[in-house]
A and B are shown apart, each in its own frame.
Chain A
């Protein structure tokens, strides 16, 4: 289902109490649409479960030795 600008604006108003102007809501929908679709596909297609703390541990575990 495509992202709906009016729903986005209503959601931002309800959650944050801040008006998202119509033009920005439309831009947000256009901008977020392909990324949202990609994220949804990733949930379906990739086995990439992890924990938030994994990142730092992997970074340090793969630290390059100084040449």
Chain B
């Protein structure tokens, strides 16, 4: 019997399960890297998840991992991972999904990559993304569009497009995306995987390509919530190289996962967040609430009157910041941007400084209003991650007013929590026709990742949406 046969199909294991199988020596890291290389050779032409792969280097790392004694192994020992192509590793190209940085080689390594290396993860390549992480689809004018494994005619969501698609297609077991307005949660939702935007300051941002400094977050995408708990425990915590990283202690996120949701108050945000959601989305979300109720949680209906204003200020902050970063290139290399990136950057130049300043000064008081008001009645907030399922590439290409309006809807439920700095978890909770994933968003109090993950894990213990594997169909070929 081959080693792989002992663990069954590795694609059916989540990160935690695979790490356990490697630790128990049921399968070797080298065998898993070989399996992944074979799978990538088959699926990359359909999905275009990767911007680059380096399986030779991954094999070398896997052989070293297999030769390492058990007591020297970390929590991710031998597990293949890949990240959005904006995490810096000294001497290696980090394109940021753009032609402008096609040859950019940083001379230092991101803190989170160092931490993943130390935990034993094996990086197999770099993942596709929206150019400069600027928009919430899977389009990329320079490296090709990344395609949704549930229907390759549809977008993955973005900007962490490759991360969402690669986890859904089981081409790696853990991935770091980045989230400045929903860029982890949106591809998680559209691709049917789990994704977390942590609290502001929970994870160091040293060594990642900046988009909007007040709204940028490093976040993991995985199959399951327990995988996120494992990854977050590795990457979270203070960092002398990033003064915005918090000194608050990091909890043992895995230890509390089994505590359940009995007695937990979940506040459902209907107004604003469900506006425009189709009946299948509402049905899936209501079904998720029934599951939580059945597990002993108390469901309370809430309004969040701050929502519209937070979304407004998030827009001014996001567009104002990313455009100001790009002003030198917009002047010198405008033609080198793809159309979607260029359009957003130019529009951001119109954000007035007064509105930007208002967004920054009102951020604290609005956060306090949400904490004192909404979180007085609930331990977690609940809403759809997006109130639509993945659109087709043509529907989301920004070529007409209808398409632009659709794009505006994609991040309306997510960017609010970038502005408020609160942790937000997206997990799959059903499907809409024609077989597209639907996701819920759970939002916690500051540094409340442990409770958030505990609730998400309880839900996933009671359901199997997160275990469903996409069939890689192409609807236009049907």
Contacts and interface: CB of A to CB of B under 8 A. Distances in A.
A58 interface: yes
Interface stretch (B87-95, B105-113, B444-452): B444-452
Nearest to B419: A55
Contact of B346 (A24, A54, A57, A66): A24
B358 A28 contact: no
Contacts of A60: 201, 246, 248, 446-447
A50 B363 contact: yes
Interface string B345-383: 011011100010010111111111101000000000000
A32 B256 contact: no
Contacts of A12: 346, 349-350
B446 A63 contact: yes
Contact of A51 (B334, B346, B361): B361
B44 interface: no
Contacts of B316: 35, 39
Contacts of A18: 327, 330-331, 334, 346, 349
B421 interface: yes
Interface in A17-67: 17-18, 20-21, 24-25, 27-28, 31-32, 35-36, 38-39, 42-43, 46, 48-60, 62-64, 66-67
Contacts of B249: 66
Contacts of A62: 371, 445-446
Chain A CB within 10 Å, residue with most, of B252, B315, B363: B363
Contacts of B447: 59-60, 63-64
A15 B353 CA distance: 12
B201 A56 contact: yes
B425 to A, nearest CB: 14
Given A24-B343, A63-B446, A58 B330 contact: no
A51 B309 contact: no
B367 A58 contact: yes
Given A32-B350, A35-B312, A55 B421 contact: yes
A interface residue count range (under 10 / 10 to 19 / 20 to 34 / 35 or more): 35 or more
A3 to B, nearest CB: 9
B308 interface: yes
Contacts, number: 127
A50 B368 CA distance: 11
Contacts of B330: 16, 18
Contact of A48 (B334, B365, B408): B365
A64 B200 CA distance: 13
B312 A38 contact: yes
Chain A CB within 10 Å, residue with most, of B308, B343, B349: B349
Interface in B414-437: 421
B319 to A, nearest CB: 9
A31 B349 contact: no
Nearest to B375: A62
Contact of A20 (B256, B350, B358): B350
Interface in B196-233: 199-201
B350 A36 contact: no
Contacts of A35: 312, 315-316
Nearest to A57: B364
Nearest to A43: B358
Contacts of A16: 327, 330-331, 349
Chain B CB within 10 Å, residue with most, of A12, A35, A42, A60: A35
B309 A64 contact: no
Chain A CB within 10 Å, residue with most, of B327, B364, B447, B448: B364
B313 to A, nearest CB: 7
Nearest to A18: B330
Contacts of A59: 199-201, 367, 421, 446-447
Interface of B: 199-201, 246, 248-249, 251-252, 256, 259, 308-309, 312-313, 315-316, 327, 330-331, 334, 343, 346-347, 349-351, 355, 358, 360-369, 371, 404, 408, 421, 444-448, 450-451, 454
User: Which are the 4 A-B pairs with shortest beta-carbon distances?
Assistant: A54-B364, A64-B448, A66-B251, A48-B365
8 contacts: A42-B358, A48-B365, A54-B364, A59-B199, A59-B446, A60-B446, A63-B446, A64-B446
Given A59-B367, A63-B248, A64-B444, 15 more contacts: A11-B350, A12-B349, A20-B346, A24-B343, A24-B347, A38-B308, A38-B312, A50-B361, A50-B363, A55-B360, A56-B200, A58-B364, A59-B421, A64-B450, A66-B256
